[in-house]
Amino acid sequence: MMQNSPVASERPLVVVGAGHGGANLVALLRQNGFAGEIVMIGDEEHTPYHRPPLSKKFMDDSLQQHLRPLEFYRENAIDLRLGSVVSSIDPAGRTVTTSAGERIAYAYLVLATGSRPRSLTIPGADSESVLSLRTLGDAGHLRRAIEGGGRLVIVGGGYIGLEVAAHARTHGVEVTILEREARVLARVASPGFSEFLTGRHRAQGTDIRTAVDVVEFVEKSGSVVAVDLAGGERIECDSVLVGAGAVANDVIAREAGINCHDGILVDDHGRTNLPEIYAIGDVTCRPLGDGFLRFESIPSALEQAKNVAAHIVGSPAPRPEVPWFWSDQFDLKLKIAGHVHRGIRAVWRGSGADGKVGIFHLDATDRVIAAETANAPALFMAAKKFITSGAVLDPQRLAITGCDLRDCVVQG
């Protein structure tokens, strides 16, 4: 039975956050026949834009890529209010208030406030010359900081750090990555994939140093000139980027009594614990597998937007999708699906020596539950299908590159 129908309410549907999640949600609502008023409030000054190029093309002039042209919002009667911060939510009165003091009533509220870079709490970390990367403005700062070449230190060997390193290297910048864990991508990738990528970056001249603790950013005349490590070593540099993960922008939600735990807790429909309040994208901690996870990727934000749009207009819920994301580094097109850390056996298809590889992660019954691929779109598509169908594979055959993938399926 349909739970909601397109509302022709006096009150609008209000979306807080005009990023990937919010901008796609409003488009999907109109596509799904939502006829009510829509207000989307974003604190940035720009029309919603693509974030992935910020770490992969920050030196290019074509960096700013709008998700949709400005006319789209006008033509679809979406009241896009940019440069406006929502500072509080009143769930009882069903209103939000902006920092300028404007109160806006809502019939439905969708929180799509994303996340922000985690900052370090060490001396010098609050210096303006210690950069982070989330917005178009941040990418501009990064570009200007390294435009003249010099030495860039990146604190944190996550996907964003590695992407920035790759792009900076192609522009002749000297790059050092400082990673606290024993390997890059420790939180999100398998040891084998980390090693594969580390090798590719080192071959391009990036100095990757793992198991190091940054204790201070040393400033001189307003600029960071060095990074101090525990143990006394000092690394001289011309610019510093911190890429140490992101934290959910969930403060207004928590203050309004919405259940949060490392992000806003939502169900499969994007519903929070409070009526008529949904959340999507990086700000959410969503059900995935047998737990809850903050899965910061565009496909995940889009999937949630589809679910919320369907739920609000009363359409059937879309089919669940396999969580996935991509990354580009040098000539590598990386695509990763599923929960890598839940696998107990990793089977390599290809050695990676030619830049092409697929690592399949199998559970105890040899079902594929995740895959990490580089320059191997067909392997990635096959892996996603296997994850969805719960196919059981023969690991020995799977490891033989010449063996047709269909002949590796034992069951399913």
Binding site for ligand FAD (CB under 6 A): 16-22, 41-44, 51-52, 54-55, 85-86, 112-114, 133-134, 160, 249, 252, 281-283, 296-299, 301, 325-327
- Closest approach of Cβ 330 to ligand FAD, in Å? 14
Q: Side-chain half-sphere of 115: how many Cα atoms within 13 Å?
A: 26
Residues 130, 135, 139, 140, Cα dihedral to 10°: -100
> Which residue number, 19 or 270, has a Cβ lying nearer to ligand FAD?
19
How deeply is 71 buried, as exposed, middle or buried, from its count of CB atoms within 10 A (0-12, 13-18, 19+)? exposed
Which residue, among 309, 316, 314, 317, has the nearest Cα to 13 in the 3D structure?
Answer: 309
Q: At closest approach, how far in Å is the CB of 95 from ligand FAD?
A: 14
Q: Residue 302 in contact with residue 322, Cβ under 8 Å?
A: no
Q: State the nearest-atom distance from the C-beta of 171 to ligand FAD, in Å.
A: 17
The number of residues making up the chain comes to 412
Angstrom distance (rounded) from CA 380 to CA 368: 12
CB of 365 to ligand FAD, least distance (A): 29
Residue 65 Cβ vs ligand FAD, minimum distance, rounded to whole Å: 12
Q: How far is the CB of 234 from ligand FAD (least distance, A)?
A: 28
Which CB atom, from 19 or from 36, has the smaller least distance to ligand FAD? 19
**326 or 348: whose CB is closer to ligand FAD?**
326
Smaller CB separation from ligand FAD, 198 or 284: 284
Helical (H) or strand (E) element with 393: strand 392-393
Q: How many CB atoms lie within 10 A of CB 188?
A: 18
Contacts of 291 (CB under 8 A, 6+ apart): none
Give me the residue label for tokens 């920092």: 99
Whose Cβ is closer to ligand FAD: residue 26's or residue 214's?
Answer: 26
Nearer to ligand FAD, 140 or 299 (CB): 299
Closest distance of CB 285 from ligand FAD, Å: 12
For residue 249, give the nearest of 257, 236, 260 by alpha carbon.
Answer: 260
CB 86 → ligand FAD: shortest distance, Å?
4
- Taking the complex as a whole, the smallest distance from the CB of residue 87 to ligand FAD amounts, in Å, to 7
Residue with smaller CB distance to ligand FAD, 218 or 307: 307
Nearer to ligand FAD, 277 or 298 (CB): 298
Token reading at 306: 């589809």
Residue 191 vs residues 95, 196, 278, 368: alpha-carbon distances, Å = 47, 9, 36, 17
Read off φ and ψ for residue 360, nearest 5 degrees.
-95, 130
Whether 311 contacts 270, CB under 8 Å:
yes
- Alpha carbon of residue 149 to chain centroid: 28
**CB nearer to ligand FAD: pick between 161 and 358:** 161
d(CA 375, CA 97): 47
Closest to ligand FAD by CB, 56 vs 397, is 56
Q: How far is the CB of 243 from ligand FAD (least distance, A)?
A: 9
Q: What are phi and psi of 315, to 5 degrees?
A: -85, 160
Nearest residue to ligand FAD, by Cβ distance, number only? 19
Class of residue 42 by CB neighbours under 10 A (exposed 0-12, middle 13-18, buried 19+)? buried
